[in-house]
Amino acid sequence: MEWTRLMVLDLEPGEAYAHASGECEWIVLPLSGACRVRCRALPGPAPRTPTGLENGGSGPDAAGARANVSAPSGPDDGRGRQQNPASPAFEARGFGAGAPAAEPQVFELRGREGVFGGPTDFAYLPRDADAEIRSAAGGRFALAGARCERRLPARYGPAEAVPVELRGAGHCSRQVNNFAAAGPDGFDCDRLIAVEVLTPGGNWSSYPPHKHDEHHPGEESRLEEIYYFEIAPHGDTPGLGYQRVTPSPAGKTDILTEVRTGDAVLIPDGWHGPSVAAPGHDMYYLNVMAGPGATREWLIRDHPDHGWIRGSWDGQDVDPRLPFSRTEDHR
């Protein structure tokens, strides 16, 4: 993918992962478990603080492919995973002779038990920085990233500040945790847009099919997208769902695939949806979006054959199994 990035780390108790931001901005998002994030900007231009944003402190303790997202393996596989408390990979990275020994910022992420346990706190990592993610008890952590230009400050996003909404109605009901959505009231990033969507078993989500693969000012923004899935099991039966992407005038991506926990679908273009949760298996997916537009915005076009479904929601109730957590109703 040209603009978007995604990593998912499975960390054992006491294990740490050393991460270099490079040309991308990143959000560390706990999927299960808690972690400590240390971030240190490399020598260079000072970060720009967006208007109205308070600088962060720490919180309380290829095209159209289907991929399996997993963590690196082994105690040290050459990509920075460290289990020793001294964390030499983090302490030594990126600083040549005479470079300033800046103190890292530290963010304690409380995290959550799992993705259906409500919104989580998170940490934003700027481009041109080194970071370490360490989990005392172990867990799973997503790193959602995007290529960017501006170097914003590292900062903490509290769970309590995540806007939560309900979308759709009836069998199209779903919940959206807008932790890094675009808009004037959203968490500020340079290019990254990221949200979580939770869909009760048997429902269709990401519906009607929509696209954002062409630039039409005020109507549609050009954004590529990654869907990362976790599907709730039923007893000993693993969860499953399905993802559809159909070709659009801007591209030829054509996918109908089964998805399970740990799978990702890459969507550089196309009408995407529905995301189908099998009956009895609640579906979670993390959406990671970014594109070349000068303005960070999420503008979509519904598929002309299916957009009418929105008009039927006014006469239906939201699925009573929602919310999974606190929400506001925004159909």
Q: In degrees to the nearest 10, what's the CA dihedral of 80, 82, 85, 88?
A: -30
Asked if the model's pLDDT at residue 169 lies above 90, the reply is yes
Over residues 194-251, the pLDDT tens digits come to: 999 999 999 999 999 999 999 999 999 999 999 999 999 999 999 999 999 999 999 9
Question: Rounded mean pLDDT of 53-80?
Answer: 42
Q: Which of 50-64, 104-118, 264-278, 301-315 is least confident?
A: 50-64
d(CA 184, CA 190): 13
Residue 76 above 60 pLDDT? no
Q: Percent of the chain at pLDDT above 90?
A: 77
Stretch among 45-49, 161-165, 167-171 having the lowest mean pLDDT: 45-49
Q: What is the pLDDT of residue 212?
A: 98
CA-to-CA distance for 267 and 328, rounded, in angstroms?
29
- The residue type of 107 is F
Q: What is the pLDDT of residue 51?
A: 44
**66 vs 172, residue with greater confidence:** 172
What's the whole-model pTM score? 0.86
Residue pair 164/328 in contact (Cβ under 8 Å)? The answer is: yes
Per the model's pLDDT, the better-predicted residue between 56 and 272 turns out to be 272
Task: For residues 298-312, give the mean pLDDT.
Answer: 97
* Tens digit of each residue's pLDDT (9 = 90 or more) over 223-234: 999 999 999 999
Q: What is the pLDDT of residue 57?
A: 38
- Rounded distance, CA 117 to CA 111, Å? 10
Distances in Å between the Cα of 245 and the Cα atoms of 12, 208, 268 are 35, 12, 10
Q: What is the pLDDT of residue 184?
A: 84
pLDDT of residue 43: 81
Q: How far separated are the first and last CA of the chain, in Å rounded?
A: 31
Q: Phi then psi for 219, rounded to 5 degrees?
A: -125, -40
pLDDT category at 328 given cuts 50, 70, 90 is low
